[in-house]
Structures are given as structure tokens and as C-alpha cells.
Amino acid sequence: MNLNKFFESLAANASRNFKIEQLELNRNNETLREVVRLALDPFTQFYQRKIPAYTRDPKFNTMTLGFALNQLCELSNRNVTGNAAIEFLRNLLSSLDPDDAKVIERIIDKSLDCGVQVSSANAVWPELIKEYPVMLCSPFEQKLVEKIQFPAYVQLKMDGMRFNAIVRNGKCEFRSRNGKEIQLLGNLEEDFIAMANGVNCVFDGELLVKDKGIVLDRQTGNGILNKANKGTIKTDEARKVHATVWDLIPYDAFTKGICSVPYNQRLESLCVMADTYQPKKVALVDRWEVDTMEEVNTIFNGLLEQGEEGIILKTHDGIWEDKRAKHQIKFKGELECDLKIVAVEEGKGKAVGMLGAIVCESSDGVVQVSVGSGFSDAQRKQFWKENIVGKVAAIKYNMRIKNKQGEESLFLPIVLEIREDKEVADHSKDIK
């Protein structure tokens, strides 16, 4: 079976059901199963920023794909690093049939590039891949707010890119909320390694881009951070990246998906680390301790007047879990959701030959909307050339409505960004 051609056939059909059906038909193919696992498992990394240039070397006998897959442990275990790792990968790719080499490229890139995600893989091979753990906040609901026990924390809601700094055995790596490696070219590692002080742990927070001490607007800043997700960020851009953190989780607890240490103790440990090591480019989130909802509302409204996005209300005793927490609640001045792009529409008039709008929907397909606002002319040209169908877009909107056909939609939707750090759209129950 030519796996590269197989993945190309999956990429040519946007239907998730089609992809799952094809995987199911080949579920007994052990090589396919292992390729999918290596490419999608967030805890298996190969630490290569890009694919080195290579050509098929006729001096080498063609290596089998199965043998090549076994050799990748040299990279994932960091038995070879630096320039030696680059040469190792170059030689490996040069020894393979061109289609098999493309399969290895897909694995190294940590994306099968065919629309198959962790949930689809696990639908065919149950529990093949552990989904990357992340604790999410709950959207504002009065019934949740009424259950908050005071005193509590109010923290500034950041407007950057969610990330984890994972420190293990004296080394640091960065991951997005879906487990994909964020390549910051040597920036920030020193701060996090010093703060961890030999402890294996995970810092949770947000990346922001600053220029001369000023935080860049979301579109500009996240445009740079998306390059870090893709591995195309430049050194001068990486130097502008700063981090704000709000949580600290022991590494073993993080991988298990639960940490029973109360949040106030986790936050105190984080504060001690920051006070002791005085990191240069890592800051703690702005925070206030509050005793009443009146204080919460006062802080929230004051921050909105300053142009901030909103706040997060957190209890002292909340544990860390790989789920949407009811003890951490978002207060936002504007509504926002993440939707999957299911189609693109060409522009009209002067916009012919460029992107006119994207058609989006929630993960369950209940909320559907066409969004044409928020794109620059440069983005309209770029996204019309690129295949952005299947990606997730952040959408700002005024309210959830029913359209003329009685279908669930959004009023006054505006595109904020195409999210490279997220692969699954919001469910309709989380879109207010």
C-alpha cells in the first residue's frame, strides 16, 4: 500500500466520514497505524524545525518505510541532536522511495496534512493517541457565577496565543493548546529552565508579541506567533515574543490529566519561582483578590474601559483537570467563538480572484455562518491561494441568532484570525 498516495486521496475529500471510512477499511495495516500514531501523538516529538534538502541517493539501497519508522526513535529520544540530527534525517530521507520519504516528512511535520485529526484516528483505533491535555474556562453563565466561593481571583484575560512551556530534565520545549510544537528559536527557554530549578513541570499561559515594550495588536502579534507554529518564524521576530503565565502543573500530573493541588497553592509556587529567579521575558498574569461580585464587576468594567478584552474569575480551591472547568469563568466585553471553515467563496467586483468570504460552522454543524469581514486585501489574496478549508477561524460577533431560514447563525460576524494552534471548533452549546 502506497501510504503517501493514500493520504493524498484523503486530502482530496473534505468529508470527515470519508476519511474515517477509509481508515477503517485499512485498520489492520500496522504500518498505517504507526504512521498515524507518530504523526499525531503530541507526546512524541522529533525536534526538527524543518525538512532538510535531500535527493534520492542511488548509492543507497532503498530503505523500507517500516525500517525508517523504527529509526525515528533516534530523533524522538534525542540520541542525535543539532546538526547531527539534521544529517541523520537527511540521510534517512535520501534512502527512501520518494513516496515513503513524503510519509516521513508528514510525520516530522506532526501533521498528516490530509484532515485526519486525533479524534478521527481514535474513532478507528480506540485510545491510539492520548489527546493533549488542556484545561479550559467556562463561558459566562449566571448559574456558574453564583456557585463561586469567595475570596476568589480575578485575572486579566490575555489576547495572545495559549501555550505551555514544558520543562523536563533541564530542557524546555513549547507547545500550543493542541500539543503542536511552537518554535521560538532559543527564546524564553532560559527563563523557564531557571524558574523550574530542576523540577519537571508545565507552565500554562499566553504568548504575546512586544515591540519596544508595547504589546502588538492581536492580528499582527498572532500572525508572528502562527509562524512559530509553522516553524517559519525569523530570529528577530522570535526575540519579540514574551510570555505571561498563570498556572504551574507537575509534569506527571499534566500527562495524567489531573492535579489535585488547589489553585491558590499552584499560583503561590509560581509566584515564588518568579520572585526568586526574576525572569527577563516571563511575567505573571495581572491579578486581583476579590471578596464580592461587586468587586469583580468593578474590575471587569474598569478593564473594558481601558480597552482590555475581559477577565477570568477563578476559585482558590480549583484543581487542574483536562476538561472545561466550572470554577474558572470568562467575562468578555465582546462575544467570540472558534468555527471550522467548511468552504470558501470568491470575491466579487474588485475582489474577483481573491477570497470573498469563508463559510464556517460549529463542531456539531448546528451554528453556520458566512463571514466576509475582517480580512485585509493581502489576506484575501493569500487565503484564496492557500487551502484553508478545514482550518479553525476565530470569529467575533454581536449575538447568536436565527437566519431567515430559521437556522442558527451569528449576527455581525468578523474574522479575527485563522488559528494555527487549534484544530477542533467550538460546540454549539458553548456558543452563546
The average confidence (pLDDT) of the chain is 94
Q: Are residues 82 and 168 in the same domain?
A: no
Q: Are residues 283 and 325 in the same domain?
A: yes
Structural domain total, the chain: 3
Q: Which of 124, 152, 167 is the last residue of a domain?
A: 124
**CATH number where 182 lies:** 3.30.470.30
Calculate ∠ Cα 101-106-112, nearest 5°.
Answer: 135
308, 372, 409, 415 from 403: Cα distances, Å: 31, 16, 6, 19
356 inside domain: yes
Q: Are residues 342 and 327 in the same domain?
A: no
Q: Calculate Rg over the CA atoms of the chain.
A: 23
pLDDT at 149 over 70: yes
87, 137, 330, 396 from 142: Cα distances, Å: 57, 14, 11, 22
398 CB neighbour count, 10 Å cutoff: 12
Q: Which of 124, 155, 187 is the last residue of a domain?
A: 124
224 inside domain: yes
pLDDT of residue 121: 96
Q: Are residues 47 and 151 in the same domain?
A: no
Are residues 163 and 247 in contact, defined by beta-carbon separation less than 8 angstroms?
no
pLDDT of residue 374: 94
pLDDT of residue 61: 67
**CATH number where 344 lies:** 2.40.50.140
At 336, give phi and psi (nearest 5°). Answer: -150, 145
Q: Are residues 373 and 324 in the same domain?
A: no
The arithmetic mean of pLDDT across residues 135-146, rounded, is: 94
Q: How sure is the predictor about 264, in pLDDT bands with cuts at 50, 70 and 90?
A: very high
Q: What is the pLDDT of residues 171-213, one digit of tens each?
A: 999 999 989 889 898 899 999 999 999 999 999 999 999 999 8
130 inside domain: no
Are residues 227 and 233 in contact, defined by beta-carbon separation less than 8 angstroms?
yes
Q: Are residues 349 and 325 in the same domain?
A: no
| Cα–Cα dist 186/234, whole Å | 11
Q: What is the pLDDT of residues 76-93, one digit of tens each?
A: 998 999 999 999 999 999
pLDDT at 218 over 90: no
Helix residue spans in 77-230 (DSSP H): 82-94, 98-108, 118-124, 142-145, 189-196, 218-230
The arithmetic mean of pLDDT across residues 209-229, rounded, is: 91
Q: Which of 295, 314, 332 is the last residue of a domain?
A: 332
| Cα–Cα dist 188/82, whole Å | 19
Q: What is the pLDDT of residues 318-365, one digit of tens each?
A: 999 999 999 999 998 888 999 999 999 999 988 899 999 999 999 999
Between 166 and 115, where is the model more confident? 166
Q: Helix, strand or coil for residue 98?
A: helix
How many helices, marked H, and strands, marked E, lie in the chain?
A: 16, 20
- CB under 8 Å to 20, separation ≥6 — which residues? 120, 123, 124
Q: Are residues 311 and 379 in the same domain?
A: no
Q: Are residues 418 and 317 in the same domain?
A: no
The arithmetic mean of pLDDT across residues 33-53, rounded, is: 93
pLDDT of residue 410: 94
Are residues 187 and 234 in contact, defined by beta-carbon separation less than 8 angstroms?
no
pLDDT of residue 207: 97
pLDDT of residue 60: 67
| Percent of the chain's residues with pLDDT above 70 | 99
131 inside domain: no
| Cα–Cα dist 333/329, whole Å | 13
The arithmetic mean of pLDDT across residues 104-112, rounded, is: 94
Q: Are residues 415 and 308 in the same domain?
A: no
84 inside domain: yes
pLDDT at 130 over 80: yes
Q: What is the pLDDT of residues 55-67, one digit of tens each?
A: 987 776 678 999 9
pLDDT at 138 over 80: yes
129 inside domain: no
Q: What is the pLDDT of residues 287-300, one digit of tens each?
A: 999 999 999 999 99
Grid coordinates standing for 16? 470527515
Q: Are residues 239 and 268 in the same domain?
A: yes
Provide the residue range defining the domain that includes 97.
Answer: 3-124
| Cα–Cα dist 49/46, whole Å | 9
pLDDT of residue 229: 86
The arithmetic mean of pLDDT across residues 217-243, rounded, is: 92
Q: How sure is the predictor about 111, in pLDDT bands with cuts at 50, 70 and 90?
A: confident
Q: Are residues 201 and 114 in the same domain?
A: no
Q: Are strands 368-371 and 355-361 parallel, antiparallel or unpaired?
A: antiparallel
Q: Nearest 10 degrees: CA dihedral of 398, 404, 408, 411?
A: -10
Q: Are residues 62 and 94 in the same domain?
A: yes
